[in-house]
Amino acid sequence: MRLSAGQSAEITTAFIEFPALTVVSNPQRYTCLDEGRRYLYESRASGFSRELEIDRDGLVITYPDSWQRG
């Protein structure tokens, strides 16, 4: 999203639940914490949040408590 520190953006994504094949809306907010290297992800539907580290291409490097790119 190329946000500056302190800027936020809201988006809505979708995913498919299996096996019912139900499409589910997933509203999200991303806040840039420091010039594009760390973002706060927040689910606007559930209140879940995680701080994400991204690379210069905008791809996630670290998703705490879940995985880290090797």
According to the model, what pLDDT value does residue 48 have?
A: 94
Q: pLDDT (tens digit, 9 = 90+) per residue, 15-58? A: 999 999 999 999 999 999 998 799 999 999 999 999 999 998 88
Using the predicted structure, report yes or no on whether residue 13 has a pLDDT greater than 90. Answer: yes
The reported pLDDT for the residue numbered 25 is: 94
Residue 67 vs residue 20, higher pLDDT: 20
Tokens 């509203």 -> residue:
27
The predicted model scores a pTM of: 0.81
Where exactly are the structural domains of the chain? 8-68
Residue with tokens 């302190």: 6
Contact 30, 41 (CB under 8 A): yes
Closest by alpha carbon to 3, among 49, 52, 48, 67? 52
